[in-house]
Structure 1
Amino acid sequence: MFQDDPKTLVSTAWLATHLKDPDLRVLDASWYLPGSARDASAEFAQAHIPGARFFDIDEISDHRSELPHMAPPIEKFMSRVRDLGVGDGHQIVVYDGAGLLSAARVWWLFKLMGQNNIAVLDGGLPKWTSEGRELTAEPPVIRDRHMFARRVDAMVKDVTQVSHAAKLGDYSIIDARAAARFRGEAPEPREGLRAGHIPNSRSLPYTDLLNDDQTMKSADEMRGIFQAAGVDLSKPAITTCGSGVTAAILCLAMERFGKSDHALYDGSWAEWGAFPTVPIATGEA
């Protein structure tokens, strides 16, 4: 049975009930792969959940890095969320236009910055819309509010740390990309990347965790899916994907079934696949 949890996942019914709460803040974190022919910002301007603010994961990122949408410096994060009128004492709900694609990335980013009062909207904008709930094109009224952030370094890993983990086997490394990309049988959407996966990682496509309506499966179902994928849940976990977006869905899933010792490889395959000195594996795990 689904349970609303303001620290992980809430239903559309929960959000509808709390939408006018004075300390609720809603974020639209829609994002799409290049070539998808979708413009998240333009779609937000046309229709969004009332009061929602647009969270641009490409802009609110570390522009000093050549890698896509890497976690921003803490000062930039605090400045941007203040500009969105999001601050201390707010309950945040984040959604996206795909159902569940990029919203979990923003959930993870807030947790990385020491913020725990944030939940993903289960089923996202498609479910909200299919239920005939209110949409608007009106921009929100924004008032600055300070947020104190404190980066939780244990929640993120870099290429050196992941390389050590792959060699030592002291972490379960879990890959959220499609199985064909994991095996090296399908090309990467970004040019110039080798095909395959991090040695000693396990394949668990994020889509396996979702129902047909893009809501998340139950906590017990998701735990079973991790175990069926060969993930050793007794070890701390590192999640990875193409560019650090859908890897966060695996983190959210683990949080839902009570596993909190997880971290996200921020560079993911966009970095590993371009790095000439790190090994890659192909085929099944």
Structure 2
Amino acid sequence: MSHFVSTQWLADHLDDPKVQVIDASWHMPNAGRDAHTEYLAGHIPGAIFFDLDTNADTSSGLPHMLPDPAVFSALAGALGISSDTVLVVYDEAGLFSAPRAWWTFKVMGAHGVKILEGGGPKWRAESRQLDSGTSKAPPAKFEAKFDSDAVVGFQEVLAASESGHQIVDARGAARFAGDTPEPRAGLKSGHIPSSRNLPFDTLIADGALRSDTELAGAIAAAGIDATKPVITSCGSGVTAAVLALALDTISASQVALYDGSWTEWGGRDDAPIETGPAR
């Protein structure tokens, strides 16, 4: 089953009360872009802005960490997002932060979550309708059913690293190797010992995932056996969801995401670090 819907499908369902559009745009701290300001300037009609940083555990000291399920239910419901409708998430980079929202809603038990193929850039390129300002929806009921197997924390990843459990990092090769500084200040450079590297953008073409055959080939080439459990990681838990999406697309057996990712790992004094390419 595809995790995507086309721009034409969405255009045909904008007035469907069983479909809720969500703008989940988010940009790297050094990108010089403000996702909410861009949303106010223009977004897909009826789209609710879902801020990854505020609809999160803001007390953790780490960015966009999953909140408590009850808290998430309240946050989503207040935005007008129901767990029983078809949620179509998109972002204004094409395919960057939308998979994080897709993963979040799935982890929290939403019944149907899709990603807009090509995202906002494709919608705009086709000269489709845009609204400005804030789109509001009446309060809804979101009943979270948390999938604890889909997310792991520091201690679980530390144990996985020491045991040889598969860990795959979505950051670029230079960041993985420790050859370039991290975009977040104060973090060490390098990677989790024994992890593999599969830059998320190599899995994407024109705002969508590459073919299943290409995904399977890239995952295997990175040294990952999709028939065995895998933990995905990245800088702060956003593009790790692109890897989770790709692995789910090719029916990987068991995938969990390291929510703290390198922002947590690279900021801890007790976290072992390797540099250089994957061994």
Shorter-normalised TM-score: what interval? over 0.9
Cα deviation, 1:168-201, whole Å, max 9, x if unaligned, reads: 12x3111000010001101101111111101111
Q: For the Cα contact (< 8 Å) 2:30–2:183, is it kept in 1?
A: no
For normalisation by structure 2, the TM-score amounts to 0.96
Counterpart selection for 1:215 from 205, 208, 215: 208
Q: Map 1:135-146 to 2 at 5 A.
A: 135-146=130-141
CA distance in structure 2 between the partners assigned to 1:240 and 1:99 by the alignment = 20
CA distance in structure 1 between the partners assigned to 2:4 and 2:221 by the alignment = 23
Please identify, of 114-123 and 185-194, the stretch whose mean Cα deviation from structure 2 is larger.
Answer: 114-123
Counterpart selection for 1:185 from 179, 184, 203: 179
Q: Secondary structure at the match of 1:115?
A: coil
CA distance in structure 2 between the partners assigned to 1:191 and 1:150 by the alignment = 35
Please identify, of 11-20 and 263-272, the stretch whose mean Cα deviation from structure 2 is larger.
Answer: 11-20
> In the alignment, residue 117 of structure 2 is paired with which amino acid?
D
CA distance in structure 2 between the partners assigned to 1:277 and 1:83 by the alignment = 39
CA distance in structure 1 between the partners assigned to 2:99 and 2:111 by the alignment = 13
1:198 aligns with 2:167: no
How far is the alpha carbon of 1:216 from its aligned partner? Answer: 1.5
| Structure 2 segments unaligned to the other structure (5+ residues) | none
**What CA RMSD, in Å, does the superposition of the two structures yield over aligned residues?**
1.3
CA distance in structure 2 between the partners assigned to 1:277 and 1:26 by the alignment = 42
Q: Map 1:47-62 to 2 at 5 A.
A: 47-62=42-57
1:102 counterpart residue number? 97
Q: Map 1:14-93 to 2 at 5 A.
A: 14-93=9-88
1:257 aligns with 2:243: no
1:123 aligns with 2:139: no
| Structure 1 segments unaligned to the other structure (5+ residues) | none
How far is the alpha carbon of 1:237 from its aligned partner? Answer: 0.8
Q: Map 1:131-170 to 2 at 5 A.
A: 131-169=126-164
**Percent of counterpart pairs with the same letter?**
47
CA distance in structure 1 between the partners assigned to 2:243 and 2:262 by the alignment = 15
2:259 counterpart residue number? 266
1:248 counterpart residue number? 241
> In the alignment, residue 64 of structure 2 is paired with which amino acid?
H
Q: Secondary structure at the match of 1:114?
A: coil
CA distance in structure 1 between the partners assigned to 2:61 and 2:133 by the alignment = 35
> In the alignment, residue 48 of structure 2 is paired with which amino acid?
R
Q: For the Cα contact (< 8 Å) 1:172–1:233, is it kept in 2?
A: no
CA distance in structure 2 between the partners assigned to 1:163 and 1:107 by the alignment = 26
Please identify, of 187-196 and 254-263, the stretch whose mean Cα deviation from structure 2 is larger.
Answer: 254-263
CA distance in structure 1 between the partners assigned to 2:97 and 2:112 by the alignment = 18
CA distance in structure 2 between the partners assigned to 1:282 and 1:248 by the alignment = 23
For normalisation by structure 1, the TM-score amounts to 0.94
How far is the alpha carbon of 1:132 from its aligned partner? Answer: 1.4
Q: For the Cα contact (< 8 Å) 1:173–1:240, is it kept in 2?
A: yes
Aligned length, in residue pairs: 278
> In the alignment, residue 192 of structure 1 is paired with which amino acid?
G
> In the alignment, residue 83 of structure 2 is paired with which amino acid?
D
Q: Which runs of 4+ in 1 moved over 2 A?
A: 138-141
Q: Secondary structure at the match of 1:239?
A: strand
2:231 counterpart residue number? 238
